[in-house]
């Protein structure tokens, strides 16, 4: 029985479906939503703006707030609570590094930014990488 589940979430519909799946299929499990903000670089779109921030952790938390608001709304509709955590860096590496602290990872098949061909070429498919390298069971929701 799964009692502690990690649900990586970005602003994509696939990620929200993964959270819905976790909430509906594991009613007794503690759910933690992880939003990973990429390390600022010239290739990282929205994360470029973080380079000008004095406090990267606070800026990353602010950046993740819209995703967390969406997650909390989804949980409230099902009368559930959830935890949230912000990661900074590469999404797949962040998920894999945290996975051992959970019984399972449930994630969407494609993320908002990571599904574009350019990002797949540069960083690989996050869901595929996590499914191959995570130390716990991984469920990919479409």
Two tokens, residue 116: 């574009």
Which tens digit of pLDDT belongs to each residue from 26-58? 999 999 999 998 765 555 555 555 655 668 788
What is the average pLDDT score of the chain? Answer: 85
Show the domains of the chain with their CATH numbers. 4-141 (3.40.50.620)
Q: Which pLDDT tens digits describe the chain residue by residue (142 residues)?
A: 899 999 999 989 999 999 999 999 999 999 999 999 876 555 555 555 565 566 878 888 998 999 999 999 999 999 999 999 999 888 999 999 999 999 999 999 876 554 455 444 433 389 999 999 999 999 999 8
Query: What's the whole-model pTM score?
Result: 0.84
Q: What is the pLDDT of residue 140?
A: 93
């Amino acid at each position: 029985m799964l009692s502690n589940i990690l649900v990586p979430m970005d602003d994509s519909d696939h990620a929200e479906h993964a959270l819905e799946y976790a909430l509906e299929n594991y009613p007794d499990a503690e759910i933690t939503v992880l939003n990973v903000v990429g390390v600022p670089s010239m290739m990282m779109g929205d994360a470029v703006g973080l380079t000008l921030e004095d406090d990267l952790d606070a800026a990353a938390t602010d950046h993740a707030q819209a995703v967390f608001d969406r997650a909390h709304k989804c949980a409230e509709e099902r009368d559930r609570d959830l935890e949230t955590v912000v990661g900074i860096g590469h999404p797949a590496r962040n998920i894999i590094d945290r996975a051992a602290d959970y019984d399972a990872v449930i994630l969407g098949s494609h993320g908002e930014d990571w599904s574009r061909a350019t990002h797949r070429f540069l960083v690989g498919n996050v869901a595929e990488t996590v499914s191959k390298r995570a130390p716990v069971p991984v469920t990919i929701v479409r």
